[in-house]
Structure 1
Amino acid sequence: MMDRMEAMNGDLKQWINKDYRRVDRRHEGVDIKKCEKEGAEMRKQLNPEQSEAVEAILDALESGDGGLFFLDGPGGSGKTFVYNCLANIVIGKGLTILPMAWTGIAASLLPNGRTVVSVCKLDTNNFCKSSMLKPNSTLAKILAAISIILWDEAPMSPKASLETIDQLFRDITQVNLPFGGKVVVLGGDFRQVLPVMDTGGADEQVANCIKRSYLWNQFQVFHLKTNMRLTGGALQWKNELLEIGDGKVGAPVSGEMGIPDSLKSHGDLAEEVFGDLLSSGDVQKLAKVAILTPRNKEALEVNNSVLDRMPGTATVYLSLDEVCHKDGTVLNDSLNFTTEFLNQMTPSGMPPHELRLKKGAIVMLLRNLDVKNSLCNGTRFVIEKMGARILQCKFVSGPRQGDSVLIPRIKLNYEKRIPFTMSRLQFPIRLSFAMTINKSQGQTFEKIGLQLTEPIFSHGQLYVALSRTTTKEGIRIEAPSGKMNNVVYSEVLQ
């Protein structure tokens, strides 16, 4: 198929980016009786903490008065199990449910999940302070009929998104109650990273989180503390991580702490993490290790360095960069912003101008192309074949592990912190031997290397980095100072 598309100069974007209107077909083909049965079985398996939350949520649903709930719990506490239990019970009652998450990775783990931005049409160029969904549109009518909203990874969402969606549902339902009187279930872990901000310090980050929204005091919070997945040494490590996440480890204010000898790198972090996996051809093992960095610049450098260790010659793909108007038309301003200047830019979330690839390299998708089919921002692949206009990649994890997919070049726009819009025609991927800590949230590895050439600088980064593996033995840390910072904003956890 790839060869045929290349020969025909085909463009896959018309299919990959097509709007499939999945919301209005949410329960097409769903066996309601089966959902009812599975929901009843899952309900019996809930632990006391989970059961208390589920019963309160279902009571609110039965009352018809709506209700706002937050499920607070670290990884392994069973939040996803609760979501799936609720989904089965609600669908089994013949009602509709809207499962969504802030990130594409988290959305892909929910039944028919979608991202918050896509389903509610949030205007990210306006910092999610408005929605582009028209109140009289078909989608608005569908959303107005939703019975319950599930929203995972909520702590990563800016408070503006919460408030915009509250107003959106008030508008489309014509009910002046929080979220139009819907039952809303948020979930997440405030120990993890907060919403990404382009500018501002700790105070601005805290002010931007959902706990600072006027809506927060109306949420009933349930704490899921029991770890449902781990025992023995792994459970002990998880408890140590919670101490780090709660800010109980590290010096006051700075959070500075020494690196345990058992976790220290011996000088060649890439060798310790990857070993002979780069030449062994064992893709599955290669995909289960990674190097994490606090910042984008270091991740790019590590990726290219690791690629050079792989056998074979790299294929180089150069992007086509232009300065554009907001509507996408090319701006004739080449004197002020030269092509060479644009080529040197590699903002966060954008592929590089010079994309170097090899067969067998691990890459990460940078855009939500089709969340339902696991083509979401953060999905990792291995390169199988490389054409001039199309890449054939294989999923290395998730529900589609082992499946192949074709990725075309597409236009990607960037306009944050620059006085123009840059349009880059390139494959929407990056090498993913290394990634930023923020980007790793939601991923799980057998071994990670934490490179701290630049120190950790934001809330939750150390907690997120160290919790990417289930065992302490799977971690190596390289830091020139021999120390690391555990940055925790205590006011977010209160």
Structure 2
Amino acid sequence: MQSPDSTNELFHLAAGYVNHTGSDIFLTGKAGTGKTTFLRFIRNHSFKKSVVVAPTGVAAINAGGMTIHSFFQLPFGSFVPEKRFSSDGNANLVDRHTLLGNIRFNAERRELIKELELLIIDEVSMLRADLLDAMDEVLRSVRRKYSVPFGGVQVLYIGDLFQLPPVVKQNEWRYLSEFYESPFFFHARVLKESQPVYLELKKIYRQSEGKFISILNNIRNNIATQDDLDELHKKYNPDFEPHASENFITLTTHNSKADEINSTRLRNLEGTQYVFKGKIENEFNENALPVEKDLTLKVGAQIMFIKNDSGETRRYYNGKLATVKKIIPANANGEGEKILVAFPNEKDELELKKDKWENVRYSFNREKDSVDENVLGTYTQYPVRLAWAVTIHKSQGLTFEKAIIDAGDSFAAGQVYVALSRLTGIEGLVLYSRISPQAISTDERVVEFAGSEMSETILKQKLFAEQKLFACESMMRFFDWKKLSETFHDFQDELLHRSIPDKEAAAIFSQQMIEKVSEQEKVAAKFSEQMDLILNGNSSPDFSFLHQRTAAASAFFMNAMEEIISSIKNHADKMKVKKRVKTYLTSLSDLLYACERKKIQLTQATKYSEALMKGIDEESFRVLNEEQKNVLIQVEEFRESKSAKPKKGDSNKMSLQLFREGKSVQEIAKIRELAASTVESHLAAFILTGEIDVHEILSPQKVITILKAIEETEGAGSSAVRNALGENYSYSDIRAVQNYRRRMHRS
């Protein structure tokens, strides 16, 4: 992707807050300031384990994430934070008990949520306060951090509250209003515990006219003057009929009006009408298609791009208008299809190329310690739509050079600002209806929330302090043994319900591990108290002493981790020779992973303390965090030793290994759930190779007796030898001596 504007200090300041602090951030900005660019930048450049969610299907697809309801398994309806109401039947209400009781996360989703570090919510202006509280409840519950907002996950809110407000039905607001001051996300209860840093991007890339920018700012901030309205009304011209070559687009308040204008203008064009069908592959919600599945075009049609050009030439952007100049339909083989378009005031035509949108789901990658995006399905279509008209609602985020605003008397809250701010300048504006002073009233609660914005100077000072705090909190987290302890306790709980051989030995192992981890947890808790005292005991922490203590503690716990890792591997070696232990071995690998991860955290803690001692700066943070992002956690996959039927000879070797560990034939048979005669047969094979001496299995007298019987029945076979010896001698005994005799003859 393109590098962000190096001169946009607020952009980089916001990135610093996201990447180098644990603070929640509300990233906003007027239309055209680069909020979408910021989202993409964070997705590609943050070391934190993050997911992107949005309130609607289309918003989620455009942001490259999931819907809030899908990710959190939220029911459709309203969330009441205290108790369930007996509604009138028209309001669908859910309380905390019902919400958490109906969640059915699988193990993978639970692990992902527990590992999550950064939650990005796009188009937050459409998010209702009650849904944000529901998300908070789910995160606290799954992460088992009930007293921490969002369960300790950092939240990045992105959106412009001065655009269209969240939608809530009147019958549901009747109940929600008892808990919430407004439907806006910033009145969620959780934000009383965790107010985000308000950070507004200032540099406007869409408008360049100072006077027009000033009018938009005044409308946005509820301080529009009569002079502002008079200036806008100079563009009032209800009889204006643009020529096709002028490339005007009409912004209306209703879908039906926009559809009527587009269909009429298309029908009035001469020539052949072509339909280009979009292609859905695998899972993709048809209600969340970013462009029509059946795109109908003619030569001369006015179209609009609905996403930015990702190629090197960057010839179009989201909202740029063009005219279809030539259409070549596909041949009988479905090949040769071509659409050429031209842009206003540009000489060269552009051949349209189909684009692809992805429906993603997230999963946690243990080896890379990162969140992976898994593509469930795709939608392929030309990234354009007919554009003689579009609704004001759908125009959010788009940019036009020329637009007719046809809203009549039905301007809803926020629509005046949204409609006007689509334009690059006032010269391209035409009003079909006048704007009354009442129509430009911005919600006072939005204006009040915007008042929490700090100056750029204070934001920079706060960032430096938050960076140090983040480093200290990270170190405290690295010495938190709670998650490791939970992993071993979960392992023990699962063992109670497992049916595995030698379960008693597994239970003893599990208890021993828990005792060791619990002892470490106590020591780690005491060290955390010391660390907290060093960091918060006075206004000037002794970072040199902190580094000394951290390095010593890390070394101590590293040795403790190595002991546990060694115990896990030894136990796995004993268990993997048994049957029906595949799932159990996978659980042992999970324990190993948890320990290796803790070792990495201990190493990171020492690096953080050293950076604090030397005087931490943003570059130090960047390097440290990039190191953390690129660490691979590789553990032995115990499951692989039993993933398939043992190869010929492997089973014999397993018996030999146990024999070398001092196990008797009967003990080996019990461990491996085999007949004793089978184990004896395994061991007899190694007498021929010289890996076992026959006298390790049989007494010298038995060997002499069997040798004599073999010689007396030369060539008669094992049955004749056994008949000569009697029932006190087994076929395995005879086979062992036969192999001994063959080996002696070879030598």
Q: Could you tell me which residue of structure 1 aligns to residue 652 of structure 2?
A: none
Q: Could you tell me which residue of structure 1 aligns to residue 258 of structure 2?
A: 299
Q: Shift of the alpha carbon at 1:173?
A: 1.9
Q: Could you tell me which residue of structure 2 aligns to residue 180 of structure 1?
A: 151
Partners of 1:76 and 1:430 lie apart in 2 by 21
Q: Deviations over 1:223-269 (max 9, x none)?
A: 325315368x5244223211111121268xxxx95573542225134
Alignment partner of 1:312 is 2:265: no
Alignment partner of 1:222 is 2:176: no
**Residue 223 to residue 116, structure 1, CA distance change in 2 (3 Å):** same
SS in 2 for 1:488: coil
Partners of 2:11 and 2:405 lie apart in 1 by 34
**Residue 406 to residue 463, structure 1, CA distance change in 2 (3 Å):** closer
Alignment partner of 1:165 is 2:135: yes
> Which of residues 324, 329, 354 in structure 2 aligns to 1:404?
354
Which residue type is aligned with residue 146 of structure 1? Answer: L
Partners of 2:16 and 2:41 lie apart in 1 by 11
Q: Is the 8 A contact 1:381 1:395 kept in 2?
A: no
Partners of 1:200 and 1:365 lie apart in 2 by 38
Q: Shift of the alpha carbon at 1:165?
A: 1.9
Q: Could you tell me which residue of structure 2 aligns to residue 455 of structure 1?
A: 410
**Residue 447 to residue 155, structure 1, CA distance change in 2 (3 Å):** same
Q: Could you tell me which residue of structure 1 aligns to residue 112 of structure 2?
A: 142
Q: Deviations over 1:138-157 (max 9, x none)?
A: 23422332221222221122
The answer to which structure, 1 or 2, has the higher relative contact order (CA under 8 A, 6+ apart) is 1
Alignment map for 1:25-174 (pairs within 5 Å): 47=9, 49-61=10-22, 67-91=23-47, 95-102=48-55, 113-117=64-68, 120=71, 125-126=76-77, 134-174=104-144
Which residue type is aligned with residue 352 of structure 2? Answer: G
Partners of 2:59 and 2:164 lie apart in 1 by 14
Alignment partner of 1:195 is 2:166: yes
Q: Could you tell me which residue of structure 2 aligns to residue 212 of structure 1?
A: 187
Q: Is the 8 A contact 2:32 2:204 kept in 1?
A: yes
Q: Shift of the alpha carbon at 1:210?
A: 0.8
Which residue type is aligned with residue 165 of structure 2? Answer: L
Partners of 1:42 and 1:357 lie apart in 2 by 36
**Residue 141 to residue 382, structure 1, CA distance change in 2 (3 Å):** farther
Q: Is the 8 A contact 1:100 1:114 kept in 2?
A: yes
Q: Shift of the alpha carbon at 1:493?
A: 1.9
Q: Could you tell me which residue of structure 2 aligns to residue 264 of structure 1?
A: 236
**Residue 381 to residue 212, structure 1, CA distance change in 2 (3 Å):** farther
Partners of 2:45 and 2:407 lie apart in 1 by 46
Alignment map for 1:428-447 (pairs within 5 Å): 431-447=386-402
**Residue 137 to residue 235, structure 1, CA distance change in 2 (3 Å):** farther
Partners of 1:191 and 1:472 lie apart in 2 by 19
Which residue type is aligned with residue 221 of structure 1? Answer: V
Question: Which deviates the most, 75-84 or 178-187?
Answer: 75-84
Q: Is the 8 A contact 2:69 2:75 kept in 1?
A: no
Q: Shift of the alpha carbon at 1:125?
A: 3.9
Q: Shift of the alpha carbon at 1:467?
A: 0.8
Q: CA RMSD in A?
A: 5.1
Please list every run of 5 or more consecutive structure 2 residues that lacks an aligned counterpart in the other structure.
80-93, 277-286, 307-317, 343-349, 358-380, 449-747
Q: Shift of the alpha carbon at 1:195?
A: 1.5
Which residue type is aligned with residue 276 of structure 1? Answer: S
Q: Is the 8 A contact 2:255 2:391 kept in 1?
A: yes
Q: Is the 8 A contact 1:105 1:442 kept in 2?
A: no
Partners of 2:8 and 2:204 lie apart in 1 by 10
**Residue 401 to residue 171, structure 1, CA distance change in 2 (3 Å):** farther
Partners of 1:382 and 1:198 lie apart in 2 by 40
Which residue type is aligned with residue 403 of structure 1? Answer: K
Partners of 1:257 and 1:201 lie apart in 2 by 36
**Residue 468 to residue 52, structure 1, CA distance change in 2 (3 Å):** same
Partners of 1:134 and 1:193 lie apart in 2 by 33
Q: Is the 8 A contact 1:393 1:406 kept in 2?
A: no
- The TM-score, its normalising length taken from structure 2, stands at 0.40
Alignment map for 1:342-491 (pairs within 5 Å): 358=298, 361=301, 402-404=352-354, 431-456=386-411, 458-479=412-433, 485-491=439-445
Which residue type is aligned with residue 406 of structure 2? Answer: Q
Q: Percent identity?
A: 22
Which residue type is aligned with residue 162 of structure 1? Answer: L
Q: Is the 8 A contact 1:98 1:148 kept in 2?
A: yes
Which residue type is aligned with residue 294 of structure 1? Answer: T
Q: Is the 8 A contact 1:448 1:474 kept in 2?
A: yes
Partners of 2:221 and 2:422 lie apart in 1 by 17
SS in 2 for 1:185: strand
SS in 1 for 2:46: helix
Which residue type is aligned with residue 182 of structure 1? Answer: V
- The number of aligned residues is 365
Alignment partner of 1:238 is 2:221: no
Q: Is the 8 A contact 2:126 2:164 kept in 1?
A: yes
Q: Is the 8 A contact 2:53 2:120 kept in 1?
A: yes
Partners of 1:201 and 1:451 lie apart in 2 by 31
**Residue 290 to residue 133, structure 1, CA distance change in 2 (3 Å):** farther
Q: Is the 8 A contact 2:338 2:351 kept in 1?
A: no
Please list every run of 5 or more consecutive structure 1 residues that lacks an aligned counterpart in the other structure.
1-34, 62-66, 278-285, 318-346, 367-376, 408-426
SS in 1 for 2:393: helix
Q: Deviations over 1:347-396 (max 9, x none)?
A: 9x9999x9986466467999xxxxxxxxxx99999996899xx9x99799
SS in 1 for 2:431: strand
**Residue 240 to residue 406, structure 1, CA distance change in 2 (3 Å):** closer
**Residue 301 to residue 85, structure 1, CA distance change in 2 (3 Å):** closer
SS in 2 for 1:440: coil
Partners of 2:304 and 2:422 lie apart in 1 by 17
Question: Which deviates the most, 80-89 or 295-304?
Answer: 80-89
Q: Shift of the alpha carbon at 1:163?
A: 1.9
**Residue 159 to residue 360, structure 1, CA distance change in 2 (3 Å):** farther
